[in-house]
Every structure is written in C-alpha cells, then in structure tokens.
Structure 1
Amino acid sequence: MNSVTLTAVPGVPDIQPGDDLAAILGDALDRAGLWPADGDILCVAQKIVSKAEGCLIAYDGVTPSDQAVELARELGKDPRKVQVVLDETRRIVRKFRSPGAREGTIICEHRLGFVSANAAVDESNIGAEGAALILPRDPDASCRALALRLAQRFGASVGVVMTDTFGRPWRMGQVNVAIGLAGVPATIREQGNTDAWGRVLQVTEPALADEIAAASGLVVRKNARTPLVLLRGLDWTPAADSRATDIIRKQQEDMFR
C-alpha cells in the first residue's frame, strides 16, 4: 500500500537576518532524530527564508509615491505598505474593498510571476512592528542552496519545496503553494499515458509541487512555529532544472484577462 508521512519538525528558533538557515534547520532535524534519507522532501516556510535573507522592510524607510497614496486612500491601507506592494508588483490585476472591511486588497502579479493578494507582502508572524516581509529575490536558488547544504550534512539526496499561503480564484480559504523548488518537479506530465480503463490522457498534468506544499499545511499551525516539514515515502523522480515558476499558466492561456 502506498503511503507518505508528514512530520512537522520542532525546535526551529526565531530566524534573524543573516542567520545560517541550513545549519539551523539541520540542527533541528538532528535534535528531533529526523535524519533525512534519499528521496525525502523538506517543505520550508517562505517566512524563515525571507527573514534569513534580510527581506524585512521597515516602513520608516519607505517613501510612498503618489500612486501609493491614492491607492491607500481608496483601500484604507497604510501608504507605506502599499508602496512596498507596488515595489514587488509587475501589474495590478484587481483592487477592491468589501463593504465594512477595514482594509481593501490589491491582487497583483508579483515580480516573479505569481498572482496573489498584496504581492505576498506579509505583516503577520514576522516578529516586528511597522514592517513587512517580502518574498526572497530568487526562491529557487534559495531552495537549491538549502538542498545542497543539507545533502552534504546528512549524506542524502533530498528535495526542497518553499511554501507560502495563497488564496485561489473562485474558492474560499487559503492553501500552501510552492514558490521555490530544488529537485522536485513542478508538475508531472501524464499526457499520452493511459488511465485505468486504457483511455489515453490528453490534458492530465498533476501539480506535484503544489500538492506537496498543500499537504505540508496539514501538520503546520500558524501559531506553532513549525516552519519545516519532512515528507517521506513519496515516489517521485528528481528534476534538476525544476522551477516553481514552471507552474504559472502562460498569459496567452488566461481566459479571464
């Protein structure tokens, strides 16, 4: 019977800018007796990577543009936060403020290509007031660096998935999605294979990286400080050149633009 296990790794401390994240995560795995084996996948929360890489923006150093001031007035937001959002944004997809809401929302195409609320600029669980956390400059490179260091330490080939929490069009709630990858394929192309009845598959392409990221959210709680999850038992084939942006649908295929 096929089965996988997901284990939230305890003991990861609050991360500070400049911390050696690979060493810290390796120490947490060591203390928990969760030594990675070949084929394991580590799911790492984006927040701790961004913190270690110094992606915390203090609002005191932000000067809002005229556009940021106007959007802030319309949406009831801090204009400095809006400016941070704009700095991370290629294009504003939508903006709205629901009746009675304290703040509105800006749906943005992030500089990396992801479409998310407020360009993934986050103020929660960052351990600082008057500041916001942005995504790493290159999440895939961050994952590759972690995978290499952890492989050297534990003598095992592991995959790494960096996760963040996104909403989804037409569905309520949020789920973890993959925003950075090392070794783990973004999708699995099933086109040309057959189903259980011998029918040729035409469009089936499971979003493996997002499925892994979403599964990791089942064992993580926002207030539990467990930003590292070890997934074991999955049958997968490494892809050396995988990128999380491979999962983004091409704009020419967007039927809702």
Structure 2
Amino acid sequence: MLTVTAPDGVPEVRAGDELADLLLPLVDLADGDVVVVTSKVVSKVEGRVVEGDREEWITAETERLVARRGPTRIVRNRLGLTMAAAGVDASNVTAGSVVLLPLDPDASAARLRAAVAERAGVNVGVIVTDTAGRAWREGQTDIAIGAAGLIVLESFAGRLDQHGNELAVTAPAVADEIASVAELAQGKLGARPFAVVRGRSDLVLPPGEDGPGARSLIRADGGDLFGYGAREAVLRAVTRDPADAVAFGAPVAADELVEALRRCGVAAVAEAGGLRCTTAREDAVAAVAFAHGWGVEHAPDGTDLRLRPSSP
C-alpha cells in the first residue's frame, strides 16, 4: 500500500536553516521511506533568494533558448532542465526578489539524506522537486530535479507482459511519479513543502549509495527530438550558427537526408563520403542539411554541392 503524508507546521524558512531540523519534528520516519521536498525550500535554506529583475535572472540562468512566445521563454537552464523561465520563481518571496533553483539539487538531496540518517537513524530516499509543464498537455506537474538514495528510473526492457509480449523501451520515471503524487498531498498553497511517501522501499538504495541522481533523467542536449520550438527550429536551420548544431542531434543516415531533400524538391545522389546535388535551391539545401547534421560545400568546379556528415 502506498501512503503519502505532507505535514503541516513548517515554519518560515530562512537561509542557513537545516532541512532535517525542519522535517524531523513533524514526521516519524522509517527505513524505506522517500522524503520529498520542494526546490523552493531547498533554495531558501541554501541562500538562493536573490534581488533583481526576474527577466535578467532568467537570462543569467539560461544555457539555450528553446522557444519564445511573447513574454514566455522556454529554455534549457544551467542544470540541463528544459522549462519555462529557467525555473526562476517570483512567488512567495518579497517584492523585488526571486528564487533560483539550487546549484546542485542532487547534492542537496544527498545532504538531507545524510542528515536524516545521522539524526534519526533511518535509511530514506530523498527527492527534490520543482514544477514543470509538459509538451502537448495543459497544466503542470511536479518532477524530480534532485534525488539521492533512490532508483529514479526502472527498466522493464526484456520483461514479458501478461500476453507474452516482450517489453522493449518501457522505463517508468519513478522519481517523477513520486514527485507528482507527493504534490497531490502538499498542494500548491498548503505551506507543506515536505512529504513522506511510504510503500516503495524497493526503490530505496542501501546506506552509503546515493545512486545516479535526478540528473540521470535528463537527456543529453541533442538526444531529444524537440531541441527547439517550431519557429525557432526554422530560424536556427536557416541561420546555421555552428553553436546551434548540437540541439538538432547527431548526423542522420544518408538515405534519410536524401528523402528530406526530395520532399523539398531537390534530388541528391550518393557519392564517396556523402551526397551530391545541384546548386539549385542552395539555401534550402544548406538549411535542410544543417538540421540533419550535415554540412554543405561547393564542388571544386562550382557546378554541384557536396554534402558531408558534420563532425560530432
């Protein structure tokens, strides 16, 4: 049976407070519990409340702009997370201040886990959460941005379902699932930043093993199929800044690029080391090639274009 408890009574959190001191008087922990704490509380105790303009802090925390619609910015932030406003939050703080995400949420989770073990003598897993939207779906849900002492991703690959079909890529992100169910108990306005999830001790690692952390749930830049928004992807491909190439992913196979060019009305043929096509629609060829991880150069005689996979 799974139970979720989100205790009331957490006092106003200040920089320098100890998370374990705030949590332990409110709960009775047992081995195998998972402690969930919001990133905002972690940030406050770690002194990540800063003064200044929110937009400027979003820019400072941004590694790459993914998409922009009016004032809304979806970015890949310095933690590798893709989210609105880089995770910079202006709620529940004094006017003129914003809360930045923790510098290292996995390390924050590990410190809380170690403190609980030292003071309460129990072995728990810890998750640090933040709120994020989802592509193609309205609303937001909490996800794990930090974790310690926990299996964050289960793999069912190779197992059989009840009909004997082998599962290939089924991999529940259990840390995100726990973050989400904890938020149901905490509530957005309930002033309950902690939750304790009991009933999944099978996911909690032995003492001394913090595991891969929530950072292991983040796909490498370029490993995601949606590195840019729809409009931004067009602009990035047309301008072909080398710094943008990684978000489009590794070079595709030659036959895939041939098909993409064909859809644009350009015929390309194979040659040693790559492809060749005419200089007709050169700008279109260059943009399509860039978006597929290939580079374009003129043949020595200037009559054709030669396409080669770009170096990683």
TM above 0.5, yes or no, is: yes
Q: Take 2:14 and 2:214, find their aligned partners in 1: how far apart are those partners?
A: 25
Residue matched to 1:248: 218
Q: Take 2:226 and 2:23, find their aligned partners in 1: how far apart are those partners?
A: 41
Counterpart among 193, 196, 199 of residue 233 in structure 1: 199
Contact 2:10 2:192 (8 Å CA) reproduced: yes
Residue matched to 1:170: 136
Counterpart among 9, 24, 27 of residue 26 in structure 1: 24
Q: CA deviation at 1:233?
A: 1.1
Identity of aligned residues (%): 40
Residue matched to 1:94: 67
Q: Take 1:140 and 1:7, find their aligned partners in 2: how far apart are those partners?
A: 22
Partner amino acid for 2:192?
T
SS, match of residue 43 in structure 1: strand
Give the gaps of 5 or more residues in structure 1.
30-34, 60-79, 98-103
Residue matched to 1:76: none
Q: Take 1:235 and 1:26, find their aligned partners in 2: how far apart are those partners?
A: 19
SS, match of residue 145 in structure 1: helix
Q: CA deviation at 1:205?
A: 0.4
Residue matched to 1:100: none
Give the gaps of 5 or more residues in structure 2.
228-312
Residue matched to 2:79: 112
Larger Rg: 2
Residue matched to 2:48: 55
Partner amino acid for 2:225?
M
Comparing 228-237 with 37-46, which one deviates more in the overlay?
228-237
Counterpart among 97, 100, 107 of residue 141 in structure 1: 107
Q: How many pairs align? A: 223
SS, match of residue 222 in structure 2: helix
Partner amino acid for 1:249?
R
Partner amino acid for 1:4?
L
SS, match of residue 26 in structure 1: helix
Residue matched to 1:83: 56
Residue matched to 2:150: 184
Partner amino acid for 2:217?
I
Residue matched to 2:124: 158
Counterpart among 196, 199, 203 of residue 165 in structure 2: 199
Q: CA deviation at 1:249?
A: 2.1
Q: Take 2:204 and 2:194, find their aligned partners in 1: how far apart are those partners?
A: 20
Q: Structure 2 length normalisation: TM-score?
A: 0.69
Partner amino acid for 1:226?
R
Residue matched to 1:101: none
Q: Take 2:41 and 2:202, find their aligned partners in 1: how far apart are those partners?
A: 26
Residue matched to 2:11: 13
Task: Say which structure, 1 or 2, has more relative contact order (CA 8 Å, 6+ apart).
Answer: 1
Comparing 240-249 with 84-93, which one deviates more in the overlay?
240-249
Q: CA deviation at 1:23?
A: 1.2
Comparing 47-56 with 217-226, which one deviates more in the overlay?
217-226
